Amino acid sequence: MALRRRETASDRRDMSLNERGLFALDAIERAIVNAQRGIGGTALRDLDDMQILGALEHTIKNRETEESGLIYEHPAATPAIGELGRRIRSGIDEAGKNIPIDERPRRSEILKALNFILESVKAHTQRSAGDPEATRSFMRYISLFTPWPEEVARPLIL
Residue 31 has pLDDT above 80, yes or no: yes
pLDDT of residue 145: 86
Residue 60 has pLDDT above 90, yes or no: yes
Residue range 126-147: mean pLDDT, rounded: 82
Question: What sign does the dihedral 136-10-114-51 (CA atoms) show?
Answer: negative
Q: In 3D, which of 128, 145, 149 has the Cα closest to residue 1?
A: 145
pLDDT of residue 149: 80
pLDDT of residue 5: 59
pLDDT of residue 129: 72
pLDDT of residue 116: 93
Residue 133 has pLDDT above 90, yes or no: no
Residue-wise pLDDT for 72-119, tens only, equals: 889 999 999 999 999 999 999 999 898 898 889 999 999 999 999 999
pLDDT of residue 17: 86
Other Cβ atoms less than 10 A from the Cβ of 98: the count is: 7
Residue 46 has pLDDT above 80, yes or no: yes
156: pLDDT confidence band, cut at 50, 70 and 90?
A: low
